[in-house]
Amino acid sequence: MFRTGDRPDAEWSERALSRAQRARMERVSAALGPVRADAFEGRSAKELWDAIERCWQDVEKKPMRAQQEQVAREAVLRGLERQADCLSSGEHALVERLLILDGGVTVTDYEEFCAAQALCRRLWADVGLRDGKPFVRLDATLAQPLAQAMARPEHTGVRMRLFSFEATVAAALYIAGALDDRMPQALFVRQVLLTDEHDEEAMHLARHYLWAGFDCMDYEDGVLLLHPALYDPAPVLRGTRPELTSFTAEQIVGGMQGIMPQEEPAQRALERAIAGALRAGEDAEECATELRMLAKQGADFDALREVLSGRVTVMPGGAMERALRALLAATPRWACEERLCAASLQ
């Protein structure tokens, strides 16, 4: 989903993935009202049209509120099967939970919160607060049609192709940090939906899948997909639109795993160095991974040492400092002084 409100002057500790995601979720949750029964309940005619203008459905505008709701509901049902096929993995998992748990669940983490927001954009659900916590409720009229749509053999075929496509995009983002969304859109249409860019509905499905499934932001040339750990894409872009180039099979495999072969020994060494000194609630692998992701964004040794000092019970020194330096040396940067080429998924 689209990011908003990140501070460009944030400290490195605030840019760590877990802390940044928690801050985003808290910021958006603070603006939520009580959860509604669906996307339409309790909205005035103007509020309903505002929601429809922001939604991912093709809805004709009507002068009367009752007519507007009816037309919107018809549009949702009309596109339900194809949209169900093209849900992001987070949306798909959340819809399955909602169908099992009588249409309402408390949102547990940032990824699920983003999926819930995407379902709202589809006019399938509403997200609001219940007992002070984010809660998502599926439109009750959609439960049976969704269950039927997701039981179709065609649905299974699309999801299998989509699984491979999603892994490839995630790998590209791990390598490049950021990626213009136009090439992935075209590849989604060809590889997942088995059609071409002249299919306007397919292009909309591809666009909404990408926006639902990956962090993204507007930039001067369109929409940029972001690796979830990339806090600020400006140093990656260096003021120029990413160019497209090819990745090797080894790079793609490493990107799919979330760590390159040359990065792994340093990552494991840092985990061992900090394992016995972590504060309560900290995990060695998660901590080392977040430090590696900060290194990919251009954090230097002093910045990483400062972040680490907030995670351990002693001042980093000796083995920890050596492991940090090794991690820096082994980690390719997303941020660089030269023009950074983003990825071709071909």
Half-sphere exposure (CA, 13 Å, Cβ side) for 275?
A: 8
Q: What is the pLDDT of residue 248?
A: 64
Residue 39, pLDDT score: 87
Q: Is the distance from CB of 116 to CB of 94 less than 8 angstroms?
A: yes
How much is the pLDDT for 341? 39
Neighbours of 65 (CB within 10 A): 16
Place of tokens 């809660």: 135
188 in Cβ contact with 181 (< 8 Å): no
Strands 215-219 and 222-226: antiparallel
Residue 304: its H or E element: helix 301-309
pLDDT at 86: 97
Point out which residues pair with 135 in neighbouring strands. 106, 128
Q: Which residues touch 332 (CB under 8 Å, ≥6 apart)?
A: 260, 263, 296
9-48: b or e for each residue (b if 16 or more CB lie within 10 Å)?
eeebbebbbebbbebbbeebbeeeeebbebbbeebeeeeb
Token readout for 135 is 């809660």
What angle (nearest 5°) sits at the alpha carbon of residue 135, between those of residues 131 and 140?
120
The pLDDT, as a whole number, for residue 246 is: 53
The predicted structure's pLDDT at residue 249: 66
- Secondary structure E strands in the chain: 104-106, 125-130, 133-138, 178-180, 215-219, 222-226, 244-245, 342-343
Please, what is the end-to-end C-alpha distance for the chain in angstroms?
24
In eight-state DSSP terms, residue 278 is B
Walk along the chain (346 residues) and give the pLDDT tens digit of each residue: 788 888 888 999 999 999 999 999 999 999 999 999 888 888 888 888 888 999 999 998 888 899 999 999 999 999 999 999 999 999 999 999 999 999 999 998 999 999 999 999 999 999 999 999 999 999 999 999 999 999 999 999 999 999 989 998 999 899 889 988 999 999 999 999 999 989 999 999 999 999 999 999 988 778 999 999 999 888 777 644 444 445 666 667 767 788 888 999 999 999 999 998 999 999 999 999 999 999 999 999 999 999 999 999 999 889 999 999 999 999 998 864 333 333 334 4
Q: Which amino acid is at 159?
A: R
Sign (positive/negative) of CA torsion 64, 46, 137, 99? positive
> Looking at the whole model, is its pTM more than 0.85?
yes
Sheet holding 125-130, edge to edge: 104-106, 133-138, 125-130
Beta strands 133-138 and 125-130, pairing class: antiparallel
Q: What is the DSSP string of 23-81?
A: HHHHHHHTT--BPPSSSSTT--HHHHHHHHHHSSS-----SSHHHHHHHHHHHHHHTHH
Task: Identify which of 24, 27, 4 has the alpha carbon closest to the alpha carbon of residue 16.
Answer: 24
Q: Name which of 102, 158, 168 is nearest 135 in CA terms.
A: 102
pLDDT, position 156: 96
Q: At 188, which helix (H) or strand (E)?
A: helix 182-191
**Main-chain phi, psi angles of 48, to 5 degrees:** -65, -45
